[in-house]
Amino acid sequence: MKRIFSVLPILLLIVLFFLTGCSNNTKEKNVTATDHLQDVYQAYGVKKGDIIINEKFIDNPPRIVQLKPIKLQLYPYQVQLDMEPVTIERGKEARFNIFGQDVKGSGKIVINSEIVLKYRGKKDRSGLFSVEHTTDLKRYVVYPDSGDELQLAERAEKTMGAYSIGPNDNGDYALEIALGKESGIGNLGEVMFKITGVQIK
């Protein structure tokens, strides 16, 4: 019995050694790709604001793109967005929600949108990105005495949206997606993103 008890501490140390080794390996494997992101202009060796960035981005799309939602525009309304960045890999998609409201004069909008942004990559000639969304938009008339009165409610479900990409007025490389309607002209808003990082390889 004494021999058995003397062996147990040694076995326990061996088990702990292997567990520690496994833990370190797991940590190394789980280092996120966002730790290695670069500024988009630096990654492509282009001066900030230079329009040639579009050509380089499309010819050699990044493996990973990180997007920071900035605002949603629906003239004359602007909904400022305070959201975490969205990271998307080539060939995959990202899902996220946008909710907000804005008041202008006697008008008000409230918007709630679930967005699926797909990053196709260079193998698909129809474009780098595609957008689907389910959006509820409500417009109100705001009366000082009686409060908000619903004026119009619109809904678009699983509708494809358009996008554009390029330097904005500040020189930041930006992505803009339109929340298209199911029918008719116009959209239910345009979401602006700043591209905050890329990983090319």
* Higher pLDDT, residue 21 or 188: 188
Residue 20 has pLDDT above 60, yes or no: no
With 0-12 / 13-18 / 19 or more C-beta atoms within 10 angstroms meaning exposed / middle / buried, residue 139 is middle
Domain boundaries, the chain: 1-31, 34-105+116-133+159-199
Angstrom distance (rounded) from CA 165 to CA 176: 6
Q: How far apart are CA 48 and CA 46, in angstroms?
A: 6
Q: What is the pLDDT of residues 121-146, one digit of tens each?
A: 766 566 899 999 999 999 999 998 88
Among 6-10, 20-24, 173-177, the range with the most confident prediction by mean pLDDT is 173-177
Element (H, E) at 54: helix 52-59
Max Cα-Cα span within the chain: 88
**pLDDT confidence band for 13 (50 / 70 / 90):** very low
State the Cα–Cα distance between residues 66 and 19, nearest whole angstrom.
34
Give per-residue pLDDT as tens, 94-126: 999 999 999 999 999 999 999 999 998 766 566
